[in-house]
Structure formats: C-alpha cells, structure tokens
Chain A
Amino acid sequence: MNPSGNSCGSFPAASPFAPVAGPIVRSVTDPFHGDLLEVSMGPQHPSTHGVFRMVATLDGEQIVKLKPVFGYLHRNHEKIAENTSYLASMPYTDRLDYLCSLSTNWAYAFAAEKLLGQPVPDRAQYLRIILAEMTRLVNHSCLVGFLFNDLGTSFTPLLYAFREREKIIDLFESLTGSRMMCNYQRFGGCRVDPTPEWLEAARKLVENFPRFLDEYERMLTGNEIMLARTQGIGRVNAAQAINAGLTGPVLRASGVDYDLRKVDAYGFYGRMDFRVPLGDHGDTYDRYMIRILEMRESVKILAQAFRDLPAGPIMDPKAKQRGHRPKAGEAYGRIEGPKGEIGFHLISDGSPNPYRYRVRPPSLINLTLLEDMCLGHTLADSVVILGSIDIVLGEVDR
C-alpha cells in the first residue's frame, strides 16, 4: 500500500548519465544535473489552503512536473444529498465553500427553483444580491490575505482582512444566526427578513469598505516584493483558460469577458450597473488585481441594491416550505460565485429526494491548469500560484 495516498505516476529511475525523460528537462548528460527530485507538498502544509496535496518534480528548484492529489476532504456531499430531502441539503451547501456559504446557498436554491419552476419575489432577489456580494467581499479580502501569507508576509495582511471579515460576518450572524454556516436561502425566497437597522448597518459598512480597500492597496499593490513575485508568474492565455473551463476571476484575469452576472443576468443582476474587470496577462498579479477591482464593483452593486431594495414579501406565498417533490426532470442552475461558476445539476424522479445531485465545483476545475501554470517556475512560486487560484477544499473534494 502507499501510505501517503495516490501515487502520482511512477518516475523513471534514470541512470545519471542518460538524459532523463520528462516534460521539460535540461538536456544535460553530466552526473551532477541529471537527478530530479520529487517533493510531496501537503496535505498538511501551511500554504496549501487546507488538505490539498501536490506532488512536484523538481529539477533544481524548477518545477518540471506537478500533479495535484485530491480527496483528503471528500465528505460525500453528493451521496448524502441523494439520501435526504431537497431542503435538507441546504445546510450542506454551506459547508461546500465554507467562506462563501451565502453564494452557494443561492446557487443551490437557484437550481432547485429551476427544477421546481418556482418564482422568487423581488425583495428576496435583492436580498440575495446583497448577501452574495457581501460574501464576495469576504472571500476576496480573505483570499488576498491568504495570498500574501503565501508570499511570506506572515499573517499581517490576513489580520487586516479578517478584521473586515469579522465586521461582515457579524452582520451575517445577526441576520441568519450563524457566522459561517448561514443556511439562508429557501426555494422561493429567503429565510428571514433583515430589519431596517440591519440594512442601515450593512449600508454603512459597505460605504466604508472602499476605505479598507484603499488602505489595503496602499500597503500591498505597489509593494516591490509583491510585484517581483507575482508579475509574469503563472501565466495562462485566454484560449487555454477557456478550454480548461476556468471560471471566475481566474478566467477574467486572462482577459476573457465571461461573467455569469452579465451573461446569464440571473436574479436581478440585469438591473445592476457594474463593470467586469479584465486582466491582460493572466498572471498571478492580474489575478490579484481582478479581485481588488471586483470588490470595488461589488461595492457599487451593493450601493444600488440598498437603494432599490423594495418592500414586500421575502418568500413566494405559494411556495412550499418543505416536502418538495419536483416532477421528474432535471435542471442545471449556475451562478457566479466568488470563485467561479458554481453550479448544481439536480435530477428528480418525482420522489422527495433528488435522484442525482451534482455540484459543479469551480475550485476543482480551476485547478486543471495548475500544472501548466507552475511549469518552469520555482517551488516557492507554485505556492503563490495556488494561492492566486483561490481554492477551498470543501468544494474541491466535496
């Protein structure tokens, strides 16, 4: 047995005098440069963002091969969901991407509403946008903090990011009762209606958020080490990114204009005025910058949503509260989560439990190009590249 998990493919035991087979190997024949080193990073590693593992093959410090190994957090979400009712899977969706529970809730509710043919009242649509965009702020600010951790700043930017996160998740807690696992969306609306005081507090927080962004950017964006470590690192071109199914900020950093909030205009995003920031180079720096710019656009969306939030019910009065039995059929619902396209494919056979429940995990699919991004760079850069892709293991492995 192999105690460390999946093998990552056997590596040829090359004679030191023969050229070594592999993707990118210097054509050296002397005994001092022929050996390649295989390094297994993770699942317990401070900068693999959880229990992710990658097996890198190094030529000196340069990566010549890198294979991700998954499954250390495979919690069987899909199987459990097939054995429980539609609504009972909602709390599990919180735990998929545990930094962005409210977005994932929406994605699931969106798919289930599509399957049920369930309309959603206007106020709930606006509340969903408000909470999803606030989640985006939490995710992106934490991501930037973690990214700088990976660059070696040892916690300081993360302290700033978590300061803002705490402010926002305090609001989530006062609205939904939980800091992280909000379980807020329902099929046909939302669970609780925010009070005017909550809305006022949220509006103020969002109003002040650009100040934090300015502070953050002043510290980080022009930082010389940051520029040296991220510009030109881990480049992906647009054609590669599209073919590999990258979505979200990682895709847009490569200059592909594809944001589901614009393309599908799901919910009431069609009524919102905002821009989709695009990158030029598809490198780590662009992926960082896209997040900062997206946060600024989110603030704009939030301001409009607070302004236009209508009065009215938050739940469709005809919607069933529990015991949903959609008629046989299937639906695929997708929204633009903070990490990319988060989709749910639900198949109903008319029974109270879904026949098949599939999550389209953006974090997993965004890792498709991890090896291509890392080839030729050093091992230290691979950590930064991984940080810039923004994965959450709960969603990668499900």
Chain B
Amino acid sequence: METVEQLRDRLLARFPSAAVAAVTNPGAAAEHSLLLGAAQAREIAEFLRDDPVLRLDYCSNVTGIDWPEKEITDTVKSTVPDPAGGPSKVVETKTVRVEPGYLEAVYFLYSMALKHGPVIVRLRTANRTDAVTLPSLTPVWRSCDFQEREIFDLFGIVFSGHPDLRRLLLWDEFVDHPMRKDYVEPDDYEWEPTAHDEVLVRAKAHQAAVAAAAAAAPVPVVNPTSSAS
C-alpha cells in the first residue's frame, strides 16, 4: 500500500484545490494519518472508497477527540551584543500564545476487498464553540451513522449531511457534551463509602462546598447535605 505521503500527493493531484496534509504519529505504532480540509472531505472520501487501487470500502472506527485551547510558551534565544564591548549576552524572550482548540473526528478506513489498511483520515473543526460543523461521511460509509451520532452527542461536532443527527446515548434534553475535557459533571458526591481515592476527593470537595454555602446562607438550613438538590 502507498505511504501517507504518496497518498497525499496523489490526492493533491486529483483535487488541486483541496487541503490535504500528512500528520505523523510519533508513537511506536507509527500509523500516520491524513488531515483533510472539511470543504472537500466528502469528495475525497468517495474517491478513497472507489479508487481501484485503494478501495477503502470499510470504515471501521470513528473517534471523536477534543483538543482544548493550549497555552504555549515560545522561548526565543537571541544574542545581544554588549554595548560596552564585553562578551555578547544571550537573552531569552518568552512569548505566550494560545493555540486555538478544535474538535477532531478520526476515521479508520480499511479495504475488505483488497484486505489492506488502515488509512487514517482526520477532520478538524475550526474551533470548539461556534464553528463545529464537519461534513458527515455517513453517505459514503453507513458504518459512520451511529458513531457520528455518538460524537455529536458526546463532543458536539455537528455533522452536516447526516441523515438522522440526534443524540445517541444521552437523552434529548441534555445540553452538555460530556466527553469534552472541560465538562463539569453534576455534583452528586454526597456520601461515598468507597475505596476510590479520587471519589473521596470529590466527596470532600462536595462537603466543603455545601458547608461554605450553608455558612453564607442567611437562613440556617436544617439538613445541609440534602438541600444541595
């Protein structure tokens, strides 16, 4: 099978206006992937499915990933000559920039006909708040149907062109996207007879919050723990 770079070049030759980039996987698995621009993702997906050399007729897995905003500190070292004529100094200038966050959908494509794969395709949204639309690949591979619904449910990526985009796992009235990294789960850690350290930490946080609320409240509460509901 072609390498990701070869495939990228072939796709760029076929779709000159498309955005296609190779993403290297630094891990031990070394399965590199292709980053597709959202605009032509559907056409490229159809090409990948129908191309006689690739015939990626089977989309195995769709993973949603949340990449929140990251603060990155760039350190630039520059040599400043000493005006007094002494040895030049090395000055470090630190700039903090915020790398914008985005949501990502990763598709694992295989060929059942030719028994090769995977070709990993990634689509990224512009940000995590308002521009969260990606083209749905369900019309190309039906196996994406439930998986894209799940990503819509848990991550909040809106797949345009999906035939039936509803929440898959949580109820319709739910508003959050719980698999996002900044999701805050409901506080129901009133009482935790448990060996999980992390649960005990949360239970303590709950008790502290309730105690603080009770202290701040003008009217004394009879049963402070049950008033949290």
Contact = CB atoms under 8 A, between A and B. Distances in A.
Direct contact of A and B (CB under 8 A): yes
Nearest to B118: A332
Q: Is the interface of A mostly helix, strand, loop or mixed?
A: mixed
A365 interface: yes
A6 B57 contact: no
B60 A360 contact: yes
A243 B178 contact: no
Contacts of A74: 169-170
A331 interface: yes
Contacts of A177: none
B36 to A, nearest CB: 17
A243 B142 contact: yes
Contacts of A79: 178-179
B59 interface: yes
Contacts of A345: 61, 63, 106, 108
A345 B59 CA distance: 14
Interface in A360-382: 360, 364-365, 367-369
A266 B49 CA distance: 25
Interface in A330-344: 330-332, 334, 341, 343
A348 B27 contact: yes
A245 to B, nearest CB: 2
A83 interface: yes
Given A245-B60, A258-B112, A356-B63, A1 B173 contact: yes
Interface string A53-80: 0000000000000000011001010110
A11 B162 CA distance: 19
B27 A326 contact: yes
A245 B107 CA distance: 12
A39 interface: no
A109 interface: no
Given A71-B170, A332-B61, A347-B65, A368 B28 contact: no
Contact of B146 (A7, A258, A348, A368): A368
Contact of B147 (A115, A243, A365): A365
Nearest to A113: B28
Contacts of B120: 332
Contacts of B146: 70, 364-365, 367-368
A362 to B, nearest CB: 10
Contacts of B59: 245
Given A117-B28, A329-B26, A331-B31, A358 B63 contact: yes
Nearest to B57: A242
Contacts of A358: 61, 63-64
Interface in B165-186: 166-173, 178-179
B155 to A, nearest CB: 10
B27 A242 contact: no
Nearest to A251: B112
Nearest to A348: B27
Contacts of B172: 2, 6-7
B102 interface: no
Contacts of A369: 142
A115 B27 contact: yes
A179 B179 CA distance: 32
Given A245-B59, A345-B106, A368-B142, A6 B115 contact: no
B171 A329 contact: no
Nearest to A245: B143
B108 A332 contact: yes
A368 B173 CA distance: 24
B130 interface: no
B171 A114 contact: no
Given A79-B178, A245-B59, A330 B29 contact: yes
Interface of B: 25-31, 57-61, 63-65, 106, 108, 112, 115, 118, 120, 141-147, 164, 166-173, 178-179, 198
Interface of A: 1-2, 5-7, 9, 70-71, 74, 76, 78-79, 83, 114-117, 242-247, 256, 258, 263, 326-332, 334, 341, 343, 345, 347-348, 356, 358, 360, 364-365, 367-369, 397
18 contacts: A2-B171, A6-B167, A70-B168, A70-B169, A78-B179, A79-B178, A83-B198, A114-B29, A117-B27, A245-B58, A245-B59, A245-B142, A245-B143, A258-B58, A328-B27, A330-B29, A331-B27, A332-B108
Given A256-B112, A332-B61, 7 more contacts: A83-B198, A242-B112, A326-B28, A332-B108, A347-B65, A348-B27, A365-B146
